[in-house]
Structure 1
């Protein structure tokens, strides 16, 4: 089977930062952008995106890029020779925040693996409203104000991080804060910043909490950290059913909860309380129908299988119902590194499901410590 292309979404806010050089203190508002153009301001966000895209040129045959028309992405991709599909056509000559949101919606509909966007805090805010945690994002800094934690330090750095993800290198997945300043107040000399949400951002792999004992992972400490992360999610979502898959990593979470666990079976937990042990595929479907559900599973060390080996109770019908977004893969970084770059494997017996899971997926490797790792195409 041919290797699946990495699905990259791309959005440029053409007017981002246009008021900076003219001391207009931002680019929010059609009147500000019009004033900047009249005074000869240059649109720079496309050029900054081009710098980021330089790092992806050697990988362009591994990419399927989805974008918006004209200056929102199509023009720069065409000029650099990237194959791409335009999934959103903006109508007005001067794009607005509604165009950014609409383009982001189309990218989510295409189930892109990652969104690369160029803009400032206003752009990040618009994208956050739509994307939330549907997929990771990387921001190319192009605005007058960059307070949000979803931007790379430079356009070149943005491209390098995305290249790492495309190549399947182990990168951390962090939560980046989206903040924006009220530009009207800012022009009056008052800085009023507001938190608007968070998005997932890939970063270079950093052993923050998991490195112990001279640089080697201590399994006991790391598994405790992984358990703490999952238990926190249970606390945050007390009405959600957590389907606990088989394997020793999932077993460590159940031990931390003080619950009886079926090591080679599947159990059901809600609100940190055990609902049922050793469920069949049919009983799982019955329990989970029309309820919020997350599936916690791990991989087989050395092989990388996440479905189809020892957890057949997690039927294709159940996994499709839950969706990829609600699958929580748990593993230590050393377990991932033992794969030596090989992708995770889904061998569910349902080719449609297996293909649906292909692409990057967050893996919980510690407390608030995630990495992005790919599920391969069989």
Structure 2
């Protein structure tokens, strides 16, 4: 008799807490308290639940192991309980070891880059146990995450069936959140985890983007953007080196590198910074529905759902696809090697509605049509 495949599930209940409120991460009790005070709501449990329900519908023969309390997925056999609440990194490490000790053949963890580091610490640098992240953090630059919860379920089900999946090492990368909040960007590779790969379901590691692109290319994108939205328009500009260079070209060098900013376009084609590092509630309270200009994450291709959760589903629906503008140099698009731009807004119906082909502004009077998918 063949035994059922065993999958362990652990949830970081505060993962992503700082995203909607513009805190650029959720590490540490003080940041978590501040996020809650600003109105943040935990979303990791919901994303874990979506993954587990989809997984069990695809592979009902799977045996699930999980953790008690808020670190669990609400299904499966509980094999570990944290000492108390709130939970932290030490609890994640203890839970991972307990799930492995109880026989998990695949570990699903729901969190962000910080949680991936905790899993790496628990398993050790040479662990062969396959691991897959359900994305629920703010940044998620590591190459250990599925594109979204549904993709995580599809990969886990394929692993359980033993079909179409190969195992490969993937880098765990994390950034200094304090540096991010100060506008400095830097990342470090902490190690590698073994990840089950299924085509178009597991993300790439973030790579450098177009900060070194010619100034005339970025200046051309800025001029085209200003003309497209028109004088007097409000423009919500997403994070990243490309968008920051565009803001500088528009005459707003004080725009943040790592947050969502609101600019007002002037009649001369420049722009004035009206709101720096905006939260989701502030964006919804703007007097006019803004245009939204974003650049995909280098190497990964994510347009929404990685580091720009301030752009909530409510705002995106209000703006509509016609006010969503994509900015990228030709070199940045070429670096994707034909892979599509990706969506993970937290609302699968919205992701599906936004999917299709979009026109990417690549310079002055220059654009490319590119696929956008959930």
Scaled by the length of structure 1, the TM-score of the pair is 0.50
Count of residue pairs the alignment pairs up? 198
Does 1:105 pair with 2:97?
yes
Contact between 2:107 and 2:130, CA under 8 Å: does it hold in 1? yes
Pick from 79, 83, 88 the counterpart of residue 87 of structure 1: 79
* 1-structure distance, mates of 2:52, 2:82: 22
Q: CA deviation at 1:102?
A: 0.5
Equivalent-residue separation in structure 1 for 2:199 and 2:37 (angstroms): 45
2:196 aligned with 1:202 = yes
Give yes or no for the alignment of 1:147 onto 2:146.
no
- 1:161 and 1:97 map into 2 onto residues whose CA distance is 26
1:212-264 deviation line (CA, Å, top 9, x unaligned): xxxxxxxxxxxxxxxxxxxxxxxxxxxxxxxxxxxxxxxxxxxxxxxxxxxxx
Match in the other structure for 2:123:
131
Deviation track 1:100-146 (CA, whole Å, cap 9, x = no partner) reads 00001111212311001110000000001112424101101110111
Is there any run of 5+ residues in structure 1 with no aligned partner, and where? 78-83, 207-378
Q: For 1:205 and 1:182, how far apart are their aligned partners in 2?
A: 31
- The Cα shift of 1:49 comes to 1.3
Distance 2:184 2:120 in 1: 25
Written as runs of structure 1 = structure 2, the 5 A alignment for 1:40-55 is: 40-55=39-54
**What is the CA–CA distance in structure 1 between the aligned matches of 2:70 and 2:173, rounded to whole Å?**
25
- 2:334 maps to none
**Contact 2:114–2:174 (CA under 8 A) maintained in structure 1:** yes
Distance 1:4 1:72 in 2: 26
Q: Tell me what 2:8 maps to.
A: 9
Q: Distance in 1 between matches of 2:151 and 2:58?
A: 16
CA distance in 2, matches of 1:7, 1:204: 19
Measure how far apart 1:59 and its partner are: 5.1
Which consecutive residues of structure 2, in runs of 5 or more, have no partner in the other structure?
A: 201-374
**Structure 1 contact 27–144 (Cα < 8 Å) conserved:** yes
Matched with 1:374 is none
Structure 1 residues 1-40: aligned runs within 5 Å: 1=1, 3-40=2-39
Match of 2:68 in 1: 69
Q: Any runs of at least 4 consecutive aligned residues in structure 1 with deviations exceeding 6 A, and if so which? A: none
CA distance in 1, matches of 2:199, 2:18: 36
Which residue of 148, 161, 186 maps to 1:192?
Answer: 186
- Specify the SS of the correspondent of 1:115: strand
Contact map agreement 1:172 1:205 (CA 8 A) in 2: no
Structure 2: distance between partners of 1:205 and 1:194: 26
* CA-CA distance at 1:29 after TM superposition: 0.4
Structure 1 pair 170–60 and aligned structure 2 pair: CA distance change class (3 A): closer
RMSD: 1.6
C-alpha displacement of 1:5: 1.3
**Does the 8 Å CA contact 2:58/2:154 hold for their aligned counterparts?**
no
Secondary structure of the residue that 1:16 maps to in structure 2?
coil
Q: Are the aligned partners of 1:69 and 1:90 in contact in 2 as well (CA < 8 Å)?
A: yes
Tell me the SS of whatever aligns to 2:169: strand
1:54, distance to aligned residue in structure 2 (A): 2.8
CA-CA distance at 1:92 after TM superposition: 2.5
Name 1:115's counterpart in structure 2. 107
Q: Distance in 2 between matches of 1:184 and 1:164?
A: 38
| SS class of match (1:55) | helix
How far apart are the structure 2 equivalents of 1:9 and 1:112?
5
* Residue 162 (structure 2) aligned to one of 159, 168, 176: 168
1:29-61 Cα offsets, whole Å, 9 max, x none, are 011111112222111011111222232223564
SS at match of 1:111: coil
What is the deviation of 1:183? 0.6
- Residue of structure 2 equivalent to 1:183: 177
Structure-1 separation of matches of 2:26 and 2:191: 21
